[in-house]
Amino acid sequence: MKFFVDTAEISEIRELAETGLLDGVTTNPTLIAKSGRNIAEVIAEICEIVSGPVSAEVAATDYKQMLMEAAVLRRIAKNVTIKVPLTPDGLRACYALSREGIMVNVTLCFSAAQALLAAKAGASFISPFVGRLDDIGQNGMDLIADIVQIYANYPAIKTEVLVASIRNPIHLIEAAKMGADVATIPPAVIKQLYHHPLTDKGLAAFLADWGKTGQSIV
């Protein structure tokens, strides 16, 4: 499974990139707004840090404007992935862009039917939002299972399942068990993945025992 980080904060991206765990980055208008910076500057800086796909989302809602914004965003760097909403105009833009060999991330997916449409439109990635489904009393992971199963039925589908709106490590593990291709994870949740009380307890015991030897490796 590929790990993307869902943020526009350069310091967080740089820190994670240095661990070797990061395969890509996703951003959205909300994350760009939180950064307080110009979108082109932010995306360009991220693309210098990360060689994998970096999703930059259009703000337009109509087809022609989406293509105009996509033209600006794709000039920033070769690894920019154009992110479009799962709407009729968004899927039309996805089809046009994908035919030019441009990576497209179709976002705001909340049903398997929508995911099938995105695949038909040639999306590189489909982003189903599991956390937001959980918020309204549905099981977001059921959607991931459905999409993975449907895509697996058709070898011609090359669209990768990019699990979004991840709220906790359980979402990630369940998605990995189902065979999702990618997870885009908030930095705080990535940091949670490191921790287990038995790891902390074991390390404390090792260090205490080592201290008793009076040795130094260097």
CATH value at residue 128:
3.20.20.70
Closest by CA position to 140, among listed 116, 110, 162: 110
CB 121 within 8 A of CB 95: yes
Number of structural domains in the chain? 1
The residue from 2, 64, 78, 83 that is catalytic is 83
Can you give the pTM of this predicted structure? 0.95
Tell me the residue type at 203. L
> Would residue 20 be called left, alpha or beta, if left means φ above 0 and alpha means ψ between -120 and 50 degrees?
left
83 is catalytic: yes
What confidence tens digit (pLDDT) does each residue in 95-105 have?
A: 999 999 999 99
| CA 76 and chain centroid, separation | 19
Q: Which domain holds residue 137?
A: 2-213
Percentage of the residues of the chain whose pLDDT score is greater than 90: 100
CB 182 within 8 A of CB 163: yes
CB atoms under 10 Å from CB of 156, counted, come to 6
Domain membership of residue 218 (yes or no) is no
